[in-house]
Copies of this chain bind each other. A is one copy, B any other.
Amino acid sequence: MIIGFIGFGNVSKRFTEIFNKKNISLITSIEKRSAKTINNIKNSNISVLDGFKEVAQCSDILISANSPKQALNVAKKYGKYTKGFYLDLNNISPKTTLEISKYFKKDNFIDGAIIGNVNRNKAILYVSGSKSQMLIDLNSNDLEVSYISNNIGDASTLKLLRSVYTKNLSGILLESFEIAGKLNLEKELYEILSLTEGEDFKSNSQSRIKNTIKNSNRKTEELEEIIDYFESDLTITKATLEKFKGYQY
């Protein structure tokens, strides 16, 4: 089997490592790539073809892992050359996923969503689409592929729903520990909550808070997209957006 990559950031780098252990042939191109990306590719164990057209033509599975803004263009430009499956791993809304899927035969498009950090011990990939179940063959010690449904958009929707929960969780941690901090009871609040929420509570929560403050601009944008997508069903999430905005820089 041959898997091709368009886009070579964190996601493609990690998947290259994972698939190399399974002896799958991997291909990409350095066509019009940045110096940093070319460096990433050279440091990975992957074959380099002349252009992405060739990559698309030779792939049994063509993976698109780009920035959300490029996702649609990449699909339009190179999707037509592949006879295999097109697996979209971009961090895009279900709306964009459906839009992209129109450029493919229904059976050839797979909606993919990476859950959490791709660099966690075992990366998690959710897939949906009529033939997506096939990707379960890619399961390994480093990758858990979960089949959601035959509906294109379900994997992306689930990722967004997860994000509703996790972003709000960061929001309520910010709010609770802001007050605790003012009252000099931060340490004690971590202790008290660890008793019922589990011993990892403090380290998990501190990393959530730190991560949210550090990336407040991006998190705020992502939350705006979520609110735009689910609209009227959100009450608390809109307040969390206000909280995040207070941390923008």
A residues near B, CB below 8 A?
115-116, 124, 126, 144, 146, 148, 154, 157-159, 161-162, 164-166, 168-169, 171-173, 175-176, 178-180, 182-183, 185, 188-189, 191-193, 195-196, 198, 200, 230, 233-240, 242-243, 246
The answer to whether B176 touches A165, judged by C-beta atoms less than 8 angstroms apart, is: yes
The answer to whether A179 touches B161, judged by C-beta atoms less than 8 angstroms apart, is: yes
The answer to whether B236 touches A240, judged by C-beta atoms less than 8 angstroms apart, is: yes
The answer to whether B233 touches A243, judged by C-beta atoms less than 8 angstroms apart, is: no
How far, in Å, is A178 (CB) from chain B's closest CB?
7
CA distance A235 to B171 in the complex (A): 10
CA distance A126 to B189 in the complex (A): 11
CA distance A146 to B169 in the complex (A): 27
CA distance A169 to B165 in the complex (A): 9
Residues of B within 8 A of A172 (CB): 164-165, 168-169, 171-172, 236-237
Number of copies: 2
The answer to whether A191 touches B238, judged by C-beta atoms less than 8 angstroms apart, is: no
The answer to whether A236 touches B236, judged by C-beta atoms less than 8 angstroms apart, is: yes
CA distance A124 to B171 in the complex (A): 27
For A148, A164, A176, A230, the residue with the greatest tally of chain B CB atoms inside 10 Å of its CB is A176
Give me 13 A-to-B residue pairs in the complex whose CB atoms sit less than 8 angstroms apart, sorted by A's number. A146-B191, A157-B183, A158-B185, A161-B179, A161-B183, A166-B196, A169-B169, A175-B233, A175-B235, A175-B237, A179-B234, A236-B243, A238-B239
CA distance A234 to B242 in the complex (A): 11
CA distance A188 to B170 in the complex (A): 21
Residues of B within 8 A of A115 (CB): 192, 195-196
